[in-house]
Amino acid sequence: MIREKGTNRSLFFRGQVDKYTWVDLGSSYLPSELVAAFLWAQMEEADVITQRRIGLWNSYHRWFAASEIAGMCRRPVIPAACSHNAHMYYLLLADLETRNQFITRLKTVGISPVFHYVPLHSAPAGQRCGRTHGDLSHTEHLADCLVRLPLWIGLEESQAEVARNISSILAEIV
């Protein structure tokens, strides 16, 4: 009912009620035809899109291997028995101050990395609805260190320049 604007539309179409009416909270979560058309085109190209994203991810991973060896950052680790869809590429920096400096410096050269990970236990809904067990200092520390690098289809043309800027700024601030 929530998905159908708070109505009993599904029950009405199944003949379980004789009237279609508003019965509860809801909203319009169904995609518009235009959004559905874009989604369908992406679904048809999902394998190609994923392979291109994995190519971008792998390039970042190669470029930042030396930075990781030098102790400037940590790269993502994909366990051998796992695969991924390259939905993002991130670096883990030493601490919050280093991450903030890194982001500020990258913005001056037109690169907009983001940090977007808020541990669930500290999010407003997590505080309201959840509960924690034990010390979550590792989670909180990693949230302060994580920076997400630009990764989208079409980045291929400028990814090398982005990586050079990232490497240069890492070397300056670490």
Query: What is the per-residue pLDDT across 131-158, written as a single tens digit (0 to 9) for each?
Result: 899 999 999 999 999 999 999 999 999 9
Q: At what angle do helices 137-145 and 96-108 cross, to 10 degrees?
A: 20
| Residue 124 neighbours by CB distance under 10 Å | 8
Q: pLDDT at position 28, please?
A: 74
| Chain centroid, CA 52 distance in Å | 17
What are the sequence ranges of the domains in the chain? 45-173
pLDDT in tens, the chain (174 residues): 566 778 887 888 888 888 778 888 777 777 889 999 999 999 999 999 999 999 999 999 999 999 999 999 999 999 999 999 999 999 999 999 999 999 999 999 999 998 877 888 988 888 888 889 999 999 999 999 999 999 999 999 999 999 999 999 999 998
Q: pLDDT at position 2, please?
A: 62
Domain 45-173 homologous superfamily, CATH: Aspartate Aminotransferase, domain 1 (3.90.1150.10)
- Alpha-carbon distance 170 to 105, whole Å? 10
Which among 145, 174, 173, 157 is positioned nearest to 59, based on CA atoms?
A: 157
Which among 49, 51, 47, 6 is positioned nearest to 26, based on CA atoms?
A: 6
- Alpha-carbon distance 119 to 140, whole Å? 7
Q: pLDDT at position 24, please?
A: 81
